[in-house]
Structure 1
Amino acid sequence: MNASKYCFESYNEIKDTLTKDGKISFFVFNSSSRCWVPYFVYLPPNFSKAKNYPLVLFMHGQGGDETTFNKYVKEEQLNKWILGGEIEPVVIAGIRGDNDRENVQWFTPENESLIAGYSLGEFIQYCQDNFNAGVERNDISIEGHSRGAAGAIHYYLKYPGKFASIVGMGYVSDYTLPSNKKLAAQNLESLKELQIPLRLEIGTEDSFVLTKNRRCIYDLHDYMNELELNHEFEVLHGVEHRFDYFWHYYTDEGLINGLRHLKFHENARKLLKK
């Protein structure tokens, strides 16, 4: 593996997951579309290959990579929520969107083959094979920030029903709005029928909104209302554009927003399985 130019030479292919429970770990896997792809994975406490787990895919923003989630979300926090019974055990994973971090686009053909593919995305298949994650029907959700939110929304609109729920934080990628509107119109019947839960969030202090007038999340919200597509939309007071501000925001109910997200995904999975 010649990985030094991509700054993940210290990563290895996965060998043994049994010692990684309750931890966020970093590996690479060999993809047919993008060669070696670095990724992170969080395995819940008492992880067992004999069990099936739901899967939450995290998509980072511009300038981020597979380490972004771990910079702001601590495994101890996730372990506490699971061991305390606040959420069920879940696997959280995410790939580096591109080795050129400034130009990452989650809807490129290469990334699309990893996330969705013709029937099943290559990375999702990898998570199923190695972590027993996302194996059962309606057990895969997407969480995205900034350009990752643009990607998450793209997959929600293009592949209705393929994912159990979607959360998009800080969607300010205005250039993606026309294509997302087009996808919404094209797949409107399926989107209305399936009513897959979608949650959109933006902060009152988002610099892209305040200084560059990036308002695509507001425009998408209005457009979805016109189409009568159910979704949640919330403006978070005091929140800036950074992912950690979204995750660690305290809700009116006193919950950390990251926990609210994981509960949102869990409730969506349970609802779809009824």
Structure 2
Amino acid sequence: MKQPVILFALLVLCRCAVAQETIKQAPAGFDAIQASIPHGKIDSVMYPSKTVGNDRRMLIYTPPGYSKKKKYPVLYLLHGIGGDEKEWLNGGSPQVILDNLYKDKKVEPMIVVMPNGRAMKDDRAGGNVFEPARVEAFATFEKDLLNDLIPFVEKNYPVLTDREHRAIAGLSMGGGQSLNFGLGNLDKFAWVGGFSSAPNTKAPEVLIPDPAAAKAQLKLLWISCGDKDDLIRFSERTHDYLVQHQVPHIYHIEPGVHDFKVWKNGLYLFSQLIFKPVDLSAW
């Protein structure tokens, strides 16, 4: 009797190992325009920034069927070091991804704000993007976001204003910003996502000095990266710290490098999880 029992146990272990290694990928066509379905709308909007000292530009996506009579949660979606408020639009087609998800009833209706995360008067994406002043402007954006951008959105759009209905996520430099600002302001954000987060990501013990508070307040902490990404170590060290301190989160590593293939998949998956109950055991 021992041999069948041993074989059964090995079979179960093998199946578990395969399940744990399953890569979640968006299906083919997830980012292809479907002309016959309802579409959301993207507007370019200016808002006054006391932090920077001038008006700044952002893009705002409102979902299909948008109504000013309804209140919506908000996702703040941030770009990388070489981009601006149009980077997601030009490289990631977030409006197409979300339109298709709405068609399949896989996401909660939400407003998506895509700002320029380089908080300085000359916030264009050109020039030497690694110049110290331009890099520092990404850190300055935290003040602009909290003190200028969010208040403007909440004054001018029908949005829910509690932390449970506010999410922040981004790619690369914007992923680092999202972890830094989201985890650094748990009173403001309950949903936080970093896609291929860059070296601007603070050390884990600085990001999460109080693991118990993070555990109690976060609805979802998402960290994803391509397995061939040279920056994966920044995601790994955060994940390792979270595991060590038993902070629930999703750590999603998929085949890929530092590019929009990975970031679009991150948005596809993350957007389906926010503003609703999350079953971490499925991951």
Paired residues, number: 228
Question: Are the structure 2 counterparts of residues 181 and 126 from structure 1 closer, same or farther at C-alpha, using a change threshold of 3 Å?
Answer: same
Q: Could you tell me how far 1:22 is from its partner in structure 2? A: 1.6
Residue matched to 2:261? 245
Amino acid at match of 1:266: F
Match of 1:184 among 196, 208, 213: 208
Residue matched to 1:171? 197
Q: What is the alpha-carbon distance in structure 1 between the residues aligned to residue 272 and residue 136 of structure 2?
A: 27
Question: Are the structure 2 counterparts of residues 106 and 170 from structure 1 closer, same or farther at C-alpha, using a change threshold of 3 Å?
Answer: farther
CA contact (8 A) 1:143 1:168 kept: yes
CA contact (8 A) 1:197 1:268 kept: no
Match of 2:45 among 3, 24, 27: 27
Match of 2:139 among 87, 101, 108: 108
Q: What is the alpha-carbon distance in structure 2 between the residues aligned to residue 50 and residue 37 of structure 1?
A: 27
Q: Which runs of 5+ in 2 are unaligned?
A: 1-38
TM-score, normalized by length of structure 1?
A: 0.75
Q: Percent identity?
A: 22
CA contact (8 A) 1:22 1:46 kept: yes
Match of 2:58 among 31, 39, 45: 39
Q: Is residue 2:161 matched to residue 1:129?
A: no
- Secondary structure of 2:219 counterpart: coil
Q: Is residue 2:103 matched to residue 1:73?
A: no
Question: Are the structure 2 counterparts of residues 47 and 195 from structure 1 closer, same or farther at C-alpha, using a change threshold of 3 Å?
Answer: closer
Q: Could you tell me how far 1:188 is from its partner in structure 2? A: 2.8
Q: What is the alpha-carbon distance in structure 2 between the residues aligned to residue 104 and residue 132 of structure 1?
A: 33
Q: What is the alpha-carbon distance in structure 2 between the residues aligned to residue 137 and residue 196 of structure 1?
A: 10
Per-residue CA distance 1:242-268 (angstroms, 9 max, x = gap): 2x212444xxxxxxx433211111325
CA contact (8 A) 1:107 1:154 kept: no
- Secondary structure of 2:206 counterpart: helix
Q: What is the alpha-carbon distance in structure 2 between the residues aligned to residue 227 and residue 136 of structure 1?
A: 27
Q: What is the alpha-carbon distance in structure 1 between the residues aligned to residue 192 and residue 113 of structure 2?
A: 15
CA contact (8 A) 1:27 1:38 kept: yes
CA contact (8 A) 1:170 1:203 kept: yes
Residue matched to 1:267? 276
Q: Is residue 2:240 matched to residue 1:222?
A: yes
Residue matched to 2:21? none
Q: Which runs of 5+ in 1 are unaligned?
A: 1-20, 250-256
Question: Are the structure 2 counterparts of residues 59 and 177 from structure 1 closer, same or farther at C-alpha, using a change threshold of 3 Å?
Answer: same
- Secondary structure of 2:194 counterpart: strand
Higher mean C-alpha deviation, range 195-204 or range 98-107: 98-107
- Secondary structure of 1:193 counterpart: helix
CA contact (8 A) 2:164 2:275 kept: no
RMSD: 2.4
